Every structure is written in structure tokens, then in C-alpha cells.
Amino acid sequence: MTLGNSKFIFRSVARFALLFVCFAFQTAEAQEPRLEPYAVPDQFDEIHTEAEVQGSVAVFMGSDRKSFSFSPEWTQALGARLVDEPGVDHVKIVYFANMKGVPSFLRNKIKKKFPQDRSAWMLLDWKGVFSKTYGFTKGALNVLIVDQKGVLVYRAAVRGVESAQLDEMVAAIRAALPEKPPTGS
């Protein structure tokens, strides 16, 4: 092997390594779990999309008929822990019901069982958009936390409030909140 050939091989290997490293970083960034686009109706047949939570920390709470009772417990527990948190006004809670498999002829009857107060809307996921995209544990409250950039930062299936899981959720929400402004002197 001549000196010229070894320089060529060295340069080729170096270029390949550089390309591999650049590609690896792009792939890792591209695979960051994100909030996928959705268009899902509520019980009033109004369509809601991911645009409604852009720029906010979104806490999605999804249930089925066996886990519906867990939503108020977790909402109350999170609210109590975050009530004085700076930036908490950037947190939006979105409730969704996994309705996949419900026959279409029962939909109107089922919609009437949900709160009729328009401020208490809930996404009725008839097609299973959330369960297909993020997985859904039946019989559990499925919680997704998405930061202000739309990155999925936390996912869990929970039942009754447990302090360890509550601590994890609160930590994920706090980490996703906007930077606190510096205090003046």
C-alpha cells in the first residue's frame, strides 16, 4: 500500500464517519416523539385540533368507560400541586374518551351522557386516533404531557392517584413550563 492510497482510505473513512455522525443526530432529532395532528369532535360535534394547544403545556387525559372516574381525581391532585406554580396559566388539560368500537347508532345516546355545559367539553375519539397513535391501556387513565414545542415529554397509564406517579407528572409539567423570568434586584 502506498502513502497516497492510505491518505485516500483515511479521508474516505473520516468522511464516512462524519456523515454517519451527522445522520445519527438528524435521525435522533427526527424521532423525537411529538404530538401528532388530530381532528376529533367533542360531545357538541365541534372539531378540536392540535392547534388549540400549540404554545401551551398540554396534559391529555384519556379514559374509557372503566377508567372515567380517575380523571377528576388526577385533575384535582395536579391542580392542588400546581396551583401556585409560576407559568401554570400555560397548562391546558384536554380530556378525551376512547370511543373506538362504539356502534354509530349509539353515538347520539352516548353523547347525552357527557356534561352538557359547553365549557366542560371532552373529545370523543370515535376512531381511536389517540389509542392508535400513542397506545391505550384499557381500564386506566392514559396521560400524555406535551411541551410548548409539541414534544411528548411524559406518558403513563394510571388508576387511582399514587404519590410517586403524581410526582413524576408534576416534574414533567414543571420541566415543560416556560423559563421563569429572572427576578430583579
Query: At a CB cut-off of 8 Å and minimum separation 6, what does 166 contact?
Result: 74, 77, 78, 81
State the average pLDDT over residues 39-46: 97
Average pLDDT, the chain: 86
Q: What is the pLDDT of residue 32?
A: 79
Q: Residue 49 pLDDT > 80, yes or no?
A: yes
pLDDT of 21 reads 45
The verdict on residue 75 lying in a domain is yes
Q: What is the residue-wise DSSP string for the chain? A: --HHHHHHHHHHHHHHHHHHHHHHHHHHHHTS-BPPP-EEEBTTS-EEEGGGGTTSEEEEEEE-TTTTTHHHHHHHHHHHHHTT-TTGGGEEEEEEEE-TT--GGGHHHHHTTS---GGG--EEETT-HHHHHH---TTSEEEEEE-TTSBEEEEEEE-S--HHHHHHHHHHHHHHSPPPPPPP-
**Per-residue pLDDT at 9:** 54
CB 123 within 8 A of CB 48: yes
Output the pLDDT for position 11. 57
Is position 28 within any domain? no
pLDDT tens-place string over residues 99-122:
999 999 999 999 999 999 999 999
Residue 103 lies in a domain: yes
Residue 24 lies in a domain: no
**Which residue did the predictor score with more confidence, 18 or 84?**
84
Spatial separation of the C-alpha atoms in residues 99 and 168, rounded to whole Å: 28
CATH number at residue 162: 3.40.30.10
> Looking at residue 179, what is its pLDDT?
75
φ/ψ region of 84 (left if φ > 0, alpha if ψ in -120 to 50, else beta) reads: alpha
For residue 5, the model assigns a pLDDT of: 55
**Sequence letter at residue 180:** K
Does 7 reside within a domain?
no
Using CA atoms, how far apart are residues 126 and 131, in angstroms rounded to an integer? 10
pLDDT in tens, 120-154: 999 999 999 999 999 999 999 999 999 999 999 99
Mean pLDDT on 158-169: 96
- Cα gap 138→67, rounded to integer Å: 8
Q: In angstroms, rounded to a whole number, what is the distance separating the alpha carbons of residues 149 and 54?
A: 7
Higher pLDDT, 30 or 66: 66
Is residue 5 one of the residues assigned to a domain? Answer: no
Does 148 map to a domain? yes
Enclosing domain of residue 122: 39-176
pLDDT of residue 6: 56
Which pLDDT score, from 0 to 100, does residue 15 have? 53
Per the structure, the count of domains in the chain is 1
Residue 71 binned pLDDT confidence (cut-offs 50, 70, 90)? very high
pLDDT in tens, 3-31: 455 555 555 544 554 444 444 444 444 56
